[in-house]
Structure 1
Amino acid sequence: MAETLPLRHGAYVGVGTDCTNPRNVELRTYDGGGLGSSKANDCRSRVLHQQGNVFEIEQDCRQFGGPKVEGSTERSTIRVDGPDRYTDMTDGGNESFRLCPGLKP
């Protein structure tokens, strides 16, 4: 499978969050196929557009949090700030994440 984003695989947390024991809501994962969270996993992304280090992606994920697991498709804008950092710019956002080596997703 081709990498969607030029990021290292692993668990990511918000910049300023301690890697020791982050809350689930602060945890993101990247496995080379897509960006997951505590409510969405098994994500598969495709790049719709790239300009420099900013990627517009579309993701198909399994969603959790309701009475049954459902699939969903979402678009996101991700700026890759380095091989172990990214910023989620979706809908005008500016939430930055960093890799936590050793933290298991």
Structure 2
Amino acid sequence: MQSDAFFQAELRVGRVVSVEPFPEARKPAYKLVVDFGEGLGEKRSSAQLTDFYSPDDLLGRQVVAVTNLPPRLIGGFVSEVLVLGVPGEEGGVVLLEPERPVAEGVKVY
């Protein structure tokens, strides 16, 4: 049985264009700006990626994100998209990303 809610989530690929520390977050995180191309433009995200990624590791990297969730206020920062990852074997979050470069804003099927 398929869930209609699953198909309502819009997943797109974007490129990280800015990374800043986020000391106000309860758990270690970065403030990201992700470019989703002409259709969506740049969106902000709070991302708990500090265990495996430095700001230099993230800058320019393509990521997969849910782009149609309502914005959330996190530590005074408005997070507009949810960058996706999976738990690492030793904790932390491992990013989901395309295997090869793709156009920014492309939908994930």
- TM-score, normalised on structure 2? 0.26
Greater C-alpha Rg: 2
User: Highest relative contact order (Cα 8 Å, sep 6+), 1 or 2?
Assistant: 2
> What TM-score comes out, normalization by structure 1 length?
0.27
Structure with the largest fraction of strand: 1
Give the number of the structure whose residues are more often helix, by fraction.
Answer: 2
